[in-house]
Amino acid sequence: MSTSIPASGTIRRSPIGEVLARLRRNRLAVASLLVLALLHLAVALAPWLAPHDPEAVALAERLQPPSASHWLGTDEYGRDVLTRLLYGGRVSLAVGLTSMVVSMVLGVAVGAAAGYAGGVTDVLLMRITDGMLSVPLFFIALMALALLGASMLNLVAVIALSSWMTVARVVRAEVLRTRELEFVAAARALGCSGWRILARHVVPQSIPSITVAATLGVAYAILLETSLSFLGLGVQPPAASWGNMLSGARTYLRTVPGLAIFPGILIFITVLCYNWFGDGLRDAIDPTLAER
């Protein structure tokens, strides 16, 4: 990867600045980012935007079609669907983002430690990483949730624990590459401590690749929560998540299809936008792939 070497005579932009500039030219990625921003804002403001109490049950008003007071109708408990979509989005996105952050932290820590320390540590950590990559993790995660019960904490832990390995590998490779670069060697010569070099100079180099993995990670986590909801292992009712709303709505698929359509579309759009954005980001970081 030679993208950060400036051509002679041009002003050297920071690698991140260059990436952003390229990203801005990708309309799909920008649009995705906008949609995502809008979605996140909406669910963050749920308590102010939502017209009803998300858990207020009213048996007399169950399964109502859309109306002036319930824009998207009501569910099988007579709860407002729009309200629950907003609150459910908070939960879904929270699960996605939290598990992504945890898995990134884990991945970066393992990858950086392995790459920087080298030797036995490296071999050991990479053995573990490879080992986890070659185990049917989704399957074991499923077992774990079915056995231990699906609390939000378990859910995040299981998703994070099953998705940090790729990041660890990417970061390790990046660390191995940058370790030998001049400015790192210089920093070392100046007497900076190993961890400080790692944190200040080496890890930042891998931020672009980590970001790509992170965006795709969120999409993966949201989808995983949805799949697990199908088996009753997602976010537990009465709390709403898009996953459990979609999964619960399958009972009414042929009678009240609206119940399924809205969470379905939101999951689809969110996952799609995260994928598009992540993909755009990848192209922006590694233009050799995108540009002819």
Partner 1 sequence: MLEHVAKVAARAATVLGLALVLAATAGPVQQAAAQAAANTFSLPIIDNARMWPIVGGLPNILVNKVLYSTLVKYDAKNLAPVGDLAERWTLADDRLTWTFALRRNVTWHDGRPFTARDVKFTIERLWLNPQVAFFQRGNVAEISRVEVVDDYTVRIVTRTPFATLPVMLGYLANILPEHILGTYTPDQLRNPVDFLRNPIGTGPFRYAESVLGSHVRLVAYDRYFLGRPKLDAIVFRVVADLEQQLAQLQTGQLDLMIIEPPQVAVVQRMPHVQIIDAPQVNYTFVGFNNKVEPFTDRKVRQALTHAVDRKAILDKIYLGKGRIATGPINPLLDWAYTDKVHQFPYNPELAHKLLEEAGWSKGPDGIRRKAGQPLKITLDVDRGNPVREQTAVVVRQYWRDVGVDADVRISEFNALLARIRTRPNPLQAWTLWYITPPDPDVMGYYHSTGTLNEFGYANPELDHLLEQGRATFDVKARAKIYHQAQKFMAWDAPVIFLVYPAEIQALNRRVRGWAPIGYRDALTHMTGVSIGR
Partner 2 sequence: MLRYLIRRLIQTAVLLLVVSVVVFALVLLAPGGPSILLDRSMGAEEMARMRSLLGLDQPLYVQYTRWLAQVLRGNMGVSYQAGLPVLEIIGQMLPNTLVLSAAALALALAVAIPAGVVTAARPYTAVDHAVTFFCFFGVSIPVFWYGLMLIVLFSVVLNWLPPGGMYTIGGPRTLADLGRHLVLPAVVLGTANMALFTRYTRSSVMAVLRQDYLRTARAKGLGQRSVLYKHALRNALITIVTVVALQLPRLVGGAAITETVFAWPGMGSLAVRAAFERDYPMIMGITLVISTVVAASNLLVDLVYVYLDPRIRYD
Task: Tell me the C-alpha distance between 168 and 77, whole Å.
Answer: 44
Cis peptide leading into residue 238 (ω within 30°): yes
Residue with tokens 């309309």: 27
CB–CB of 277/36 below 8 Å? yes
Task: Tell me the C-alpha distance between 62 and 250, whole Å.
Answer: 16
Query: In the chain, what are the helix, strand and coil shares in percent, each to the nearest 5?
Result: 70, 0, 25
- For the CB of residue 280, give the shortest distance to partner 1 in the complex, in Å: 30
Q: How many residues bind partner 1 (CB under 8 A)?
A: 19
Task: Tell me the C-alpha distance between 96 and 8, whole Å.
Answer: 43
Answer yes or no whether residue 253 interacts with partner 1 by CB under 8 A. Answer: yes
223 binds, among partner 1, partner 2, none (CB under 5 to 8 A by kind): partner 2
Stretch that binds partner 1, among 181-189, 204-212, 250-258, 275-283 (CB under 8 A): 250-258
Binders of partner 1 in range 152-181 (CB under 8 A): none
- For the CB of residue 268, give the shortest distance to partner 1 in the complex, in Å: 20
Answer yes or no whether residue 20 interacts with partner 1 by CB under 8 A. Answer: no
Q: Which amino acid is at 76?
A: E
Give the footprint of partner 2 on this chain (CB under 8 A). Answer: 127, 131, 133-144, 146-149, 219, 223, 226-227, 230-231, 243, 246-247, 250, 253-254, 260, 264, 267-268, 271-272, 275-276, 279, 288-289, 292
Which position among 12, 127, 196, 250 is part of the footprint of partner 1 (CB under 8 A)?
250
Answer yes or no whether residue 62 interacts with partner 1 by CB under 8 A. Answer: yes
Nearest to 263 by CA among 26, 123, 82: 82
* For partner 2, the closer CB: 137 or 192: 137
> Which residues 6+ apart lie within 8 Å of 214 measured at CB?
100, 104, 278
24 binds, among partner 2, partner 1, none (CB under 5 to 8 A by kind): none
- For the CB of residue 133, give the shortest distance to partner 2 in the complex, in Å: 7
CB–CB of 139/75 below 8 Å? no
Q: Which amino acid is at 49?
A: L
* For partner 2, the closer CB: 109 or 137: 137
Which position among 149, 194, 257, 287 is part of the footprint of partner 1 (CB under 8 A)?
149
Task: Tell me the C-alpha distance between 82 and 181, whole Å.
Answer: 53
252 binds, among partner 1, partner 2, none (CB under 5 to 8 A by kind): partner 1
136 binds, among partner 2, partner 1, none (CB under 5 to 8 A by kind): partner 2
Q: What is the DSSP letter of 69?
A: S
CB–CB of 103/141 below 8 Å? no
* For partner 2, the closer CB: 136 or 191: 136
Task: Tell me the C-alpha distance between 287 and 292, whole Å.
Answer: 9
- For the CB of residue 254, give the shortest distance to partner 1 in the complex, in Å: 5
Nearest to 216 by CA among 167, 168, 262: 167
247 binds, among partner 1, partner 2, none (CB under 5 to 8 A by kind): partner 2
181 binds, among partner 1, partner 2, none (CB under 5 to 8 A by kind): none
CB atoms under 10 Å from CB of 217, counted, come to 28
Residue with tokens 């005579």: 9
237 binds, among partner 2, partner 1, none (CB under 5 to 8 A by kind): partner 1
Answer yes or no whether residue 65 interacts with partner 1 by CB under 8 A. Answer: no
